Chains A and B, each alone.
Chain A
């Protein structure tokens, strides 16, 4: 069995993604985007577009496809295009052209002539700080201003004033886009009153519910299919504009419709990561023990205020032991595309600020930064009684330091020819969560089993996990398991997000498997069955009793049943009242800065993680590696530049830089494996997001070690390191 079941299909081009589906009579849609950031559409002249070759339909706010705003408990409301004439950002979907071919639709879309009544746009986070608003309560309902003071301390300012050593600085991080390999796209087909939608997303049952809501259909009339997803990273949680428009146009035109965003369009017509500004003050005693932590955050958000990037709460709320803690989170509504979850929302940009600040404190104390982190290691989040279920951060740092050769670090870096060389480290944490998930396990008469859930595998490896955990739970080899996912007709697997899928689905599999085995034994011992009235047990795929064994397939054949199935469901439960849960890690990197031309290049990287039990070592390693590389990207390359008029100056892969192979050295990933069965029966915590957390700070800290230049924003570019 390959270590990744979908691997051979993907590398040979046989995996069918949403937009790979083709149907007779299919037409193609192309999305038209706004070219102002704030105002109202006065008119759209579609005469030329309508008479262009092959055009079947042109839809605008003046002649819309009818869509309602769907709302799910998981996401709240999701915006649908074309329902009014307001424009709130540059690159907002405002039209949809459908034609016989993709090229005809695209060419006709260029002919749509739009007149706007433009209003001044606010697009700069810096300019908007003055008009920042209080952020609404967090995902869990907790207030955004949070203060914890030791008894006798009146304010966080007093605690800081009484601290012998204080560092205080402001950090900022750039706007990002998920820029997944597969652009947002969909194929919609109506057949006998049922809409089937093929579209990459993070949960087919959620997609089916949103599309049903938007089209005012009964949920049973929508079937969402997404066996393969070309990357999501939080950017495909909600249903995309092409999916809504394809579904509505397919109904209006009674033809299958395919719609995909172009690479450039993905940068504005979907949602991305907010830019952030963070002010941190750390107060410590001369031994490096934290006395006070103050972390104030601001993030950009779209005018719909639909998402807040929780940088203070995602990091300082839980990371270090401190008697005094003050957090705040504000948002700055701007005329920019929507923001949303992106891999480690909150933790990724928050850790750049916090872990840079910790490094600055280590410098101020003249202390090794690992030693400083260990002195402030927490046994529970500050101010909370619930201890960490299983925390081995100290082991991550000690194993990491040995593997990386940390002992030979000099506080002022070293030189190697024309290169200034420095090393840096950072803590990584990501909460261990579970979402509700259901999985069906079916034993079949041919001695194979099916493990099925509607959940998605956006490259994270869930398909393989279904197979591995299914095999383990049924005590058979993985090659006898057929895993199935990405289809809303299967039991609801919820969302692949929050690094939860393995823990959530894995637990549900174990429950379903034990149920189906119980049911099998009932069948095996019922009247007329081979083990009638006997005391049976199950092992190795066999039913055993009285010195006799039969495979489950033999039992089913003997009683004339083709299969037997059971559904298991899991959801976060009682464990949440007993412990705090998180994954932990230690990031290390070595960076070289050229003496003359000041390019910074990462030359070594290591991450050591405590993520509970690792189910599929290779897939977990790849997840983490991708996350660490993403951290380097955030540190040195990635960032959208929003111009005053709201246009993105670099919204394509020529301008929005990601590291290429030459930028990335060998990435060393190591797991300290301590199964966390207090969290879930499988013992696994998530690995999807933690890999990126802390990495950008480790890079910035290494640059400081190499050059003595502290850069407090990312991405860090050459001009930040020029000293003249």
Chain B
């Protein structure tokens, strides 16, 4: 860790006025500073800013500084969001980590975290160690020849499934963007992870109202029961009427470079009977376009299985 200057602005205006790196819970930032992956000179502790609040009256509005544990425990939060949060990290981390920070967390790629190793995302043009290295945990969807790292947030997968938006403010003013459009595929510029502009602050997450998302869930498959990132996860919501699927939301995590919505699976589900056969048939297109690496070919099969498991949980619930 390099020496740095720390200030704690008390108003949004003050925070936007001085350039620096925002510190919320610090569970990503401080971790990467200790590894010398991030070396900010000026750190702005934003915890005093009034970016709090949780409103479930019309959809969901979450202040960027709400802690993961607070949102997970709030009645009225869609099950898919609460479950994605509760299966993230550990209780201690969730007590510290903020919603805004969660969406901006960095990849867990082992080479990104080791400054001795080439990594295009950390050091543009240095090469990607994972493509020919240890890549079991890496992505099969949305990859490029420059980077194959997964986006690690569970919450983001649930939010993308629900068409969530985030509110951003900067000295120039504020704007609202769809979370699904906020994240960038690595392409030739994996160092650009999202659409956040320099000095811009995430203030709020907005989830549009979707009453049938009360039937939703998050299934996370991993190498141990808790406290581990996903090999594959599925965020699903189903609108079922008279044993037929009226509408569906499906997104997957742990397998793609950004939270990955499965529109084709949703289309196949719409109008289908809520039966295991129909669900399996719909999930079978989920991994279309996947580009497996040497160690992660199993994710192609696992993705479909995870989606089936999540969907069956909901169709069985509906019986």
Contact = CB atoms under 8 A, between A and B. Distances in A.
Interface of A: 35, 103, 106-107, 110, 418, 594, 596-599, 601, 636-637, 641, 643, 647, 649-650, 654-655, 657, 659-663, 717-719, 722, 724
A140 to B, nearest CB: 38
Given A107-B1, A647-B117, A718-B231, A596 B223 contact: no
Contacts, number: 72
Given A641-B134, A650-B134, A659-B224, A596 B305 contact: yes
B226 A662 contact: yes
Interface residues of B, number: 30
A722 B301 contact: yes
Given A657-B228, A722-B305, 11 more contacts: A596-B308, A596-B309, A599-B221, A641-B134, A649-B133, A649-B134, A650-B110, A655-B110, A663-B226, A719-B302, A724-B301
Interface of B: 1-3, 36, 108, 110, 114, 116-117, 133-134, 219, 221-228, 231-232, 298, 301-302, 305-306, 308-309, 312
Contact of B309 (A107, A597, A717): A597
A719 B309 CA distance: 17
B134 A643 contact: yes
Contacts of B312: 596
25 contacts: A106-B1, A596-B308, A596-B309, A596-B312, A597-B221, A597-B306, A599-B221, A601-B225, A636-B224, A641-B134, A649-B110, A649-B134, A650-B134, A655-B110, A657-B223, A657-B224, A657-B228, A659-B224, A660-B224, A661-B226, A662-B225, A662-B227, A718-B221, A722-B298, A724-B301
A597 B305 contact: yes
A717 B223 contact: yes
Q: In the complex, which of the residues A596, A599, A650, A660 has the most CB atoms of chain B within 10 Å of its own CB atom?
A: A596
Contacts of A718: 221, 223, 231, 298, 302
A596 B306 contact: yes
A598 B306 CA distance: 10
A594 B221 CA distance: 10
B309 A418 contact: yes
A684 B223 CA distance: 38
Nearest to A595: B309
Given A596-B305, A597-B309, A649-B134, A719 B298 contact: yes
Contacts of B134: 641, 643, 649-650
B128 to A, nearest CB: 14
B104 to A, nearest CB: 19
A44 to B, nearest CB: 15
A585 to B, nearest CB: 26
A456 to B, nearest CB: 31
Contacts of A661: 226
A663 B309 contact: no
Contacts of A106: 1
Contacts of B231: 718
A260 to B, nearest CB: 15
Contacts of A110: 36
A228 to B, nearest CB: 25
Given A643-B133, A663-B224, A597 B302 contact: yes
Nearest to A659: B224
A418 B308 CA distance: 12
Nearest to B299: A719
Counting from the closest, the 3 A-B pairs by CB-CB distance are A649-B134, A719-B298, A662-B225
Contacts of A662: 224-227
A663 B306 contact: no
Contacts of B227: 660, 662
B207 to A, nearest CB: 27
Contacts of A660: 224-227
Contacts of B116: 35
